[in-house]
Chain A
């Protein structure tokens, strides 16, 4: 088999005066320079064009992601702040509502008491007025009754004595009698 792949064979070839060691390994100036230039071309293309393009895209995306994260964090902070504000406002509103209710309750209680007092006073006043009127009515009825009794007494007496007792003296006497009777009854 035709295998010549060891460095030893290259050295042997050199020792035997054949191809030089470097030739056996295929190393020569033209090939070396060609490969060197080829590699440098790739290096320059990648270094100056392709890598910066990819790196710029990566940086742009990283900046975008960073901005997104910052925005999300800001939104989170804003939300927390808004929630805190809302809770504070709700607490204030609750406190104010409680105060208003307490104040209204107190006022209502005061108004109710005042109304009760006024109603009681008015009722008492009406009662006293009614009592006074009843007493007036009673007095008037008593006066009428007295007058009727006098008239009846005079009629009865005139029938008994068959003469008129319609004189003023008689009438005065009867009335004095009736009055005295009333007083005696009242006493």
Chain B
């Protein structure tokens, strides 16, 4: 008999209150939100002109995000993009960070499978063959595809809404269904039309890439911690917990930054883009002539 077994690892979140739809990832998401709200409440309660402690950290974070968004999208657009980008970064960061909290993924209810149906559970710790019969009460929210997919959906939908509101219906729709190109250019316009269709596919692909990238990285982190906790308890996690903290920050940043980039691209007109290319081309030609 093994002293302990590798914990059962499943992709799907487990329902922890039978008869309801409350899963361990949803519960963990709510805890993340409570932590986030408590941190922001304490951090914004005092608004000292000389900030310190949590207020200082939150102000630094918001200022960093604001500068990032404005450096990419400019001041005016930045004001519209910031709330969603900042929410993505902060919320995902809080969800990811719960992954390294002791008890998450390891404390839960015992659900004996058929092979161990008659086993008797003694004490709070599971040993031996029963050690992988646990369903954790808490699993990080970002290890649930439902959450990552819903955030990806929000990202794509808001990008489209901003595109339609800032560029106008005609300009935005022509990105995907470019009938004008067929009318103006004939056969060559068909290529532009097909590019538009590819844009629709890429938007759908974006949903998948957004959701699976975040899910995959954080879920893999959870598995990594679980496997190394099994192989080399305590010692291995001294190395991998800081690594997971790093991954948590990076993945939150990647999701938020990609959303920002897609918003910026999605709210830039095609005609603008073409004019920009022409300008660059002319500048290049001008410099080439000057160098000759």
Contact = CB atoms under 8 A, between A and B. Distances in A.
Question: Which applies to chain A's interface (DSSP): helix, strand, loop or mixed?
Answer: helix
Interface residue tally of chain B, by bracket? 35 or more
Contacts of A54: 43-44, 58-59, 62
Given A31-B146, A53-B44, A61-B49, A42 B12 contact: no
Given A1-B5, A2-B132, A31-B21, A39 B151 contact: yes
Interface in B133-158: 141, 144-147, 149-151, 153-154
B144 A43 contact: no
A3 interface: yes
Contacts of A57: 44, 47, 51, 59
Contact of A36 (B51, B87, B91, B150): B150
B26 A35 contact: yes
Nearest to A3: B9
A43 B9 contact: no
Question: Which applies to chain B's interface (DSSP): helix, strand, loop or mixed?
Answer: helix
Contacts of A3: 6, 8-9
A31 B23 contact: yes
B83 A47 contact: yes
A59 to B, nearest CB: 10
B107 to A, nearest CB: 19
A1 B146 contact: no
Contacts of B63: 58
Contact of B154 (A10, A43, A60): A43
A42 B66 CA distance: 18
A31 B5 contact: no
Given A43-B87, A51-B83, A36 B6 contact: no
Contacts of B154: 36, 39-40, 43
Interface in A66-116: none
A71 B47 CA distance: 24
B13 A26 contact: yes
Given A2-B132, A25-B11, A26-B12, A51 B82 contact: yes
A91 to B, nearest CB: 45
A23 interface: yes
Nearest to B113: A2
A2 B11 contact: no
Given A31-B23, A34-B26, A57-B51, 7 more contacts: A1-B5, A4-B11, A31-B146, A32-B150, A53-B44, A54-B43, A58-B63
Interface of B: 5-6, 8-13, 21-23, 25-26, 29-30, 33, 36-37, 40, 43-44, 47, 49, 51, 58-59, 62-63, 66, 82-84, 86-87, 90-91, 132, 141, 144-147, 149-151, 153-154, 219, 223
